[in-house]
Amino acid sequence: MKSNFFNLLERLVRADVDFVIVGGFAGVVYGCTYVTQDIDICCDFSTDNLLLLQKALSDLHAVHRQTPKRKKLELTRANCREYKNLYLDTDIGQLDCLSFIDGVGDYRKVKEGSRIIEIEDMRMRVLNLDELIESKKAMNRPRDKEAVLQLEAIKKLKKQ
């Protein structure tokens, strides 16, 4: 599989999915030096938004990555409410869709704590640096500890 995160994000933007980039990939957007294997987004888990998300990925063979048989993504108006998170694999990369971010809160809080970035002709939201640091501190896995060190250094360097 060849990942193409830019294309993945472009599809979400073009399909009008309501989302915020969070997690390790948000760190990359701020200048972290590590390489991440997936994109984490926090999104509105309303039925309409999840169906837009599914439409954005429609030709990418999206599957639930963490189910035993890698079940195909088949969202309907009836089953959307069953999901709190979606851990997906697609032809162009892994996409984790979360409804809640530890240390920040639900999608409304995450969106409030985000800012718009412009990439080429696209505008998308990314979690603010302070909120990203808080979310990484809340997760507190070994890789999060390194991310916090990088993000706090970036915050300080940006002020200088």
Do the bridges between strand 105-106 and strand 100-101 make them parallel or antiparallel, or are there none, so unpaired?
antiparallel
Contact 152, 129 (CB under 8 A): no
Q: Which is nearer to another protein, 6 or 83 (CB)?
A: 6
CB neighbourhood size of 106 (10 A): 14
Residue pair 149/157 in contact (Cβ under 8 Å)? The answer is no
Nearer to another protein by C-beta: 17 or 154?
Answer: 154
Using CB under 8 A as the criterion, which residues of the chain lie in contact with another protein when the complex forms?
1-6, 9, 25, 28-33, 35-37, 117-120, 126, 146, 149-150, 152-158, 160
CB of 92 to another protein, least distance (A): 11
If the CB atoms of residues 37 and 67 are measured against another protein, the closer one turns out to be 37
In single-letter form, the type of residue at position 121 comes to D
Tokens of 100: 């809640």
- Shortest reach from residue 65's CB to another protein, in Å: 16
- How far from the centroid of its chain's Cα atoms is residue 50's Cα? 14
CB nearer to another protein: pick between 68 and 160: 160
For residues 81 and 115, which CB has a smaller minimum distance to another protein in the complex?
115
Minimum Å gap between C-beta 150 and another protein is 6
Min separation Cβ 22 and another protein, Å: 14
- Strand ranges, E, within the chain: 19-22, 38-43, 63-64, 85-90, 93-98, 100-101, 105-106, 114-119, 122-127
**Shortest Å, Cβ 79 to another protein:** 32
